[in-house]
Amino acid sequence: MRFFLMMLFTIGLIGFVQGQAGIRAGLSSSNITNSNVNARLGMHGGAYYRLELGFFAIEPGIEFSQKGFRGNDRNTGKVIFERLNYVDAPLLIRFNFFPEINLFVGPQMSWLMSRKYELDGVVDTNMENIPQTEFGGVGGIGIHLPYGFNVQASFGIAKNDLGDLYPNRENKVFKLSIGFDLF
């Protein structure tokens, strides 16, 4: 009986708040901390659900995200390309300062889906020495546009390092996105 009453209360509460689901995609520039390697361009895309609660909103989401870097091998000087593909799940809190502009911050959990390391034409896809999960944070600014469109700029950084291959180094990524509220 308690479970049934809690379910009714939850459904009523969800129906009472304004929510919007949408999709978002864009470009990213990623790198790793504590290194002299160059950033690598990538893409990201996914879905979100935003619960508007007046001055602030809660926005869980899920998206595919490419991270990695471009650098040089210490021994040979040849160019290294490292691409790490993740599924990110941020839980953002948006602060609506104006009707069109908001600032957001929140935690993010990421799961490694694939890896592609390339050095002098030799490709390695082994993921054993890189942690399969990553915890970090995201922050940024968003702008609501007419007709359900929105744009945002965000910065994310991981709190755990990239394992034995890159000790004391974390993923960091800057993203520019355009989104669309579906309903």
Query: Looking at the domain assignment, is residue 170 inside a domain?
Result: yes
Helix (H/G/I), strand (E/B), else coil: 1: coil
Query: Looking at the domain assignment, is residue 12 inside a domain?
Result: no
Measured at the alpha carbon of residue 72, what is the angle toward residues 125 and 134, in degrees to the nearest 5? Answer: 45
Query: Looking at the domain assignment, is residue 161 inside a domain?
Result: yes
pLDDT tens, 115-166?
999 998 899 999 998 999 999 999 999 999 999 999 999 999 999 888 887 8
**Average confidence (pLDDT) over 24-30:** 97
Residues spanned by the domain of 75: 21-181
This prediction has a pTM of: 0.85
* CA atoms of 119 and 124, how far apart (whole Å): 9
CATH code, domain with 76: 2.40.160.20
pLDDT tens, 73-129?
878 889 999 999 999 999 999 999 888 999 999 999 999 999 999 998 899 999 998
Number of domains in the chain: 1
Confidence of residue 13 (pLDDT cuts 50, 70, 90): low
Query: Looking at the domain assignment, is residue 4 inside a domain?
Result: no
* CA atoms of 106 and 139, how far apart (whole Å): 7
Query: Looking at the domain assignment, is residue 82 inside a domain?
Result: yes
CA distances, 130 to each of 19, 24, 116, 151, 158 (Å): 37, 27, 12, 32, 13
pLDDT at 17: 58
